[in-house]
């Protein structure tokens, strides 16, 4: 495993919230990350769909780790801000957040990510994120 992937996977393993959600890191390349979230009733909102907050959680982690995958060796990443559009009800057997780096600067990194629902082998984009990450040490916003 290459250095950037080790670093990303080690940091992801420390995110207890990802374990609570039973989310897993699927893939890491320089500039892209995929995270998988299984559906369960526990993450539901009032209609039983996955809560927008659960979907946002994997989108945010995926964007952060996409940024980290291209960061300098010693740098860390924190979320500055993000916007999420919910495109369809979050119904499915599981969800994948697919993030990629749009532009990486000296201090900031802009990422985009889609959340895709998988049901009986069919895919549907259910949400999309546009996010700004900051490389640390630098301070948090």
The residues that touch a copy of itself, with contacts defined as CB under 8 A, are: 11-12, 14-20, 41-47, 50-54, 56-58, 60-61, 76, 78-89, 102-103, 105-108, 110, 112, 125, 128, 130, 132, 134, 138-141
Is 12 strand, coil or helix?
helix
Q: With respect to a copy of itself, which residue has the nearer C-beta, 47 or 120?
A: 47
Give the C-alpha separation, 105 to 120, whole Å: 40
At its nearest, how many Å lie between a copy of itself and the CB of residue 103? Answer: 4
In the bound state with a copy of itself, the residue whose beta carbon lies nearer, of 105 and 121, is 105
CB of 23 to a copy of itself, least distance (A): 10
**Do 125 and 89 meet the contact criterion of CB atoms below 8 Å apart?**
no
* Choice between 36 and 102, CB closer to a copy of itself: 102
CA distances from 22 to 19, 37, 38, 71 (A): 5, 7, 7, 26
Dist CA 41 CA 43 (whole Å):
6
CB of 4 to a copy of itself, least distance (A): 15
The residues, any chain, with a CB within 8 Å of residue 134's CB and separated by 6 or more, are 77, 78, 79, 80, 107, 108, 109, 140, 141
Identity of the residue, 38 or 89, whose beta carbon is nearer to a copy of itself in the bound complex: 89
CB of 84 to a copy of itself, least distance (A): 6
């Amino acid at each position: 495993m290459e250095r950037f992937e080790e670093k990303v996977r080690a940091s992801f393993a420390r995110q207890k919230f990802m374990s609570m959600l039973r989310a897993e890191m699927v893939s890491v390349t320089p500039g892209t990350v995929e995270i998988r979230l299984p559906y369960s009733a526990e993450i539901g909102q009032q209609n039983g769909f996955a809560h927008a907050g659960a979907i946002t959680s994997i989108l945010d982690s995926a964007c952060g780790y996409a940024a980290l995958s291209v960061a300098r060796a010693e740098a860390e990443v924190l979320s500055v801000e993000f916007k999420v559009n919910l495109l369809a009800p979050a119904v499915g057997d599981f969800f994948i957040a697919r993030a990629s780096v749009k532009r990486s600067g000296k201090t900031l990194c802009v990422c985009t990510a889609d959340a895709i629902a998988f049901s009986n082998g069919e895919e549907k984009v259910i949400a999309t994120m546009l996010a700004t990450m900051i490389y640390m040490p630098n301070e948090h916003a």
